[in-house]
Amino acid sequence: MPDLLGERVGFVRRIGLFQATAINMSQMCGVGPFVTIPLMVTAFGGPQAVIGFVAGAVLALADGLVWAELGASLPGAGGSYVYLREAFQYRTGKLMPFLFVWTAMLFIPLAMATGVIGFVQYLGYLWPGMSQPQGDVVGLVVTVGIVALLWGRVERIARLTVVLWTVMIAAVGLVIVAAFTHFSPERAFTLPAHAIDLTAGHFWVGFAGGLTIGVYDYLGYNTTAYMGAEIKQPGRTLPRAILFSIVGIMAIYLLLQIGTLGVVDWREMLDPHSTAGSSVASAVLERTWGRTAADAVTVLILITAVTSVMTGLLGGSRVPHDAARDRVFFRPFGTLHPRHRFPVLGLLAVAGIMAAGVLLGRHTDLATVIQLLTTVMVIVQSLAQVAAVTVLRRRQPTLRRPYRMWLYPLPSLVALVGWLVIYGYADRSAPGRHPIEWSLAWVAAGLVAFLAWARREREWPFGPKRISEEYLRGGDEGAEGEDEDAPRPRAVS
């Protein structure tokens, strides 16, 4: 039988609902909220920054429903690669999946790089004399250590992730409890003059910047969708893991943001060289429970940062695998470790680009990396996936859909507007960084690379389109070891 999904001799479905939710939440709530609270306050210019986290949650929920339908219907390794391949093959051949892999090999490692940057930033609280070169070395050592942790069977990594997830919950929970034991409503809810002036242009620039930071903090709700070929009963597990993780993290973030603002004056967060500006969670613990407690929780935050990066690399390393198996990316990326069944080259490549991103962010600033990775992600993945849901409903109406988007197409439209706001305001939210120009340049380079690849492989536009509706029902029903929720492959010429 053709090995189109790689499930019989490739990936094995070993990850259940609890582990999938833990993987998503661990990726979502890494060091992100601990380092972006000051960035959010800076974007809004006051404690009204909580609006950014709420807006980010709304966009994450809307986009999460897009991922839920696509992930349940097309549960293959690579996530968006599979969705875009299936949806857009009818008009543009393999262009969209190629561009997705091209851009994902940049924005996923950059997202993981921000976690390592945050690790080094919080380590500075415990090591105040750390120099710039020493911080760079620490970042590279952490990267190598995470690759070593991921060098094994996925079920062992999933169990380790659950353990580290409990550390993450403990770290966030302690910061929240400490904040609310010394909470000042006046400090948290006293807004500066004209803080919410909807007629002022600067409010909407701040809102767009805050929305970018907010959705960045929620990124990771889709991690297990990249691992669709390794999820048990994906038709039920993936939608639930996505929604459970978003709702859980939303509650955590709101408590964390409001609690922090009730302890640390927002004006102190505007100084990136102060403890409140660089290690705000440590500042909360120091001012409430003392230096010893602050040191202990900072260690937990460092573990949380490692957990987030580890789960991100776990999912991201799967992205080029399915493309390589389809010969839409370099073929060596399609090889799995002969014993542990994980994509070796994908893991090493993503980790290498992440290391370069760590050095970039360490010598510029965290906001620059966030803006760049977000704009690159939006232009190919986010906007295209919103369209993919509608395209697939029209092109593949018989596709088995264990989950259908609630209130379709409203969530798709909300996600579309949110992503357009982020992209349209990117240059104004990040003056001097030109994230739109950089994202367009990267996609343009991807188009050139695609044309060169298509000419060599004699693919469209230099050859015929090859339509392969792999996930429509077909093949042997009830084959031993297969998941009853997983669509069977059916290739057509």
Calpha distance 124→278 (Å, rounded): 9
Which tokens hold the place of 156? 């062992």
Omega within 30 of 0 (cis) for the link into 461: yes
Q: State the pLDDT at residue 150.
A: 81
Residue 484 has pLDDT above 80, yes or no: no
Residue, of 275 and 119, whose pLDDT is higher? 119
Across 229-248, average pLDDT: 91
Confidence band, pLDDT 50/70/90 cuts, at residue 134: very high
Rounded (to 5) percent helix, strand, coil in the chain: 70, 0, 30
Residue, of 429 and 344, whose pLDDT is higher? 344
Calpha distance 258→483 (Å, rounded): 43
Which tokens hold the place of 131? 């120099």
CB-CB neighbours of 81 under 10 Å:
28
Confidence band, pLDDT 50/70/90 cuts, at residue 1: very low
Q: State the pLDDT at residue 310.
A: 82
Share of the chain above pLDDT 70, in %: 90
Cα R_g (the chain), whole angstroms: 22
DSSP class per residue in 282-297: HHHHHHHT-HHHHHHH
Q: State the pLDDT at residue 155.
A: 57
Residue 451 has pLDDT above 90, yes or no: yes
Nearest to 227 by CA among 162, 308, 316: 316
Q: State the pLDDT at residue 9.
A: 45
Across 248-262, average pLDDT: 91
Find residue 452's DSSP bridge partners: none
∠ CA 409-79-477, rounded to 5°: 90
Calpha distance 315→341 (Å, rounded): 14
Calpha distance 202→94 (Å, rounded): 41
Calpha distance 157→342 (Å, rounded): 11
Residue 260 has pLDDT above 70, yes or no: yes
Which tokens hold the place of 409? 């197409």
**pLDDT, tens digit (0-9, with 9 covering 90-100), for 162-202:** 777 788 788 889 999 999 999 999 998 888 887 788 777 78
Nearest to 205 by CA among 3, 416, 15, 42: 42
CB-CB neighbours of 440 under 10 Å:
14
Least confident residue range of 62-71, 136-145, 201-210:
201-210
Calpha distance 317→32 (Å, rounded): 20
Question: Dihedral of the CA atoms 177, 178, 184, 185 (nearest 10)?
Answer: -20
Q: Is the dihedral of CA 111, 113, 115, 121 positive or negative?
A: negative
Nearest to 350 by CA among 226, 215, 217, 246: 226
Across 227-242, average pLDDT: 89
Share of the chain above pLDDT 90, in %: 37
Across 86-98, average pLDDT: 92
Which tokens hold the place of 451? 């044309």
Nearest to 321 by CA among 293, 349, 301: 349
**pLDDT, tens digit (0-9, with 9 covering 90-100), for 34-84:** 888 998 998 888 899 999 989 999 999 999 999 999 999 998 777 888 899
Calpha distance 414→412 (Å, rounded): 6
Across 269-286, average pLDDT: 88
Residue 26 has pLDDT above 80, yes or no: no
Q: Is the dihedral of CA 485, 486, 488, 490 positive or negative?
A: positive
Residue 6 has pLDDT above 60, yes or no: no
Residue 2 has pLDDT above 70, yes or no: no
Confidence band, pLDDT 50/70/90 cuts, at residue 154: low
Confidence band, pLDDT 50/70/90 cuts, at residue 152: low
Average pLDDT in the chain = 84
Residue 7 has pLDDT above 50, yes or no: no
Nearest to 31 by CA among 131, 129, 107, 142: 142
Question: Dihedral of the CA atoms 376, 379, 384, 387 (nearest 10)?
Answer: 140
Q: Is the dihedral of CA 453, 391, 404, 26 positive or negative?
A: positive
- Provide CB contacts within 8 A for 341, sequence distance 6+: 10, 11, 12, 153, 154
Task: Give whichever of 263-267, 304-308, 343-347 has the largest mean pLDDT.
Answer: 263-267
**pLDDT, tens digit (0-9, with 9 covering 90-100), for 386-428:** 999 999 999 999 999 999 999 999 999 999 999 999 998 887 7
Confidence band, pLDDT 50/70/90 cuts, at residue 492: very low
- Provide CB contacts within 8 A for 16, sequence distance 6+: 232, 237
Calpha distance 238→76 (Å, rounded): 11
Confidence band, pLDDT 50/70/90 cuts, at residue 8: very low
Residue, of 352 and 430, whose pLDDT is higher? 352
Nearest to 172 by CA among 281, 52, 262: 281
Calpha distance 435→271 (Å, rounded): 24
Place of tokens 């859909």: 401
- Would you call 77 helix, strand, or coil by DSSP? strand
Place of tokens 């940049």: 106
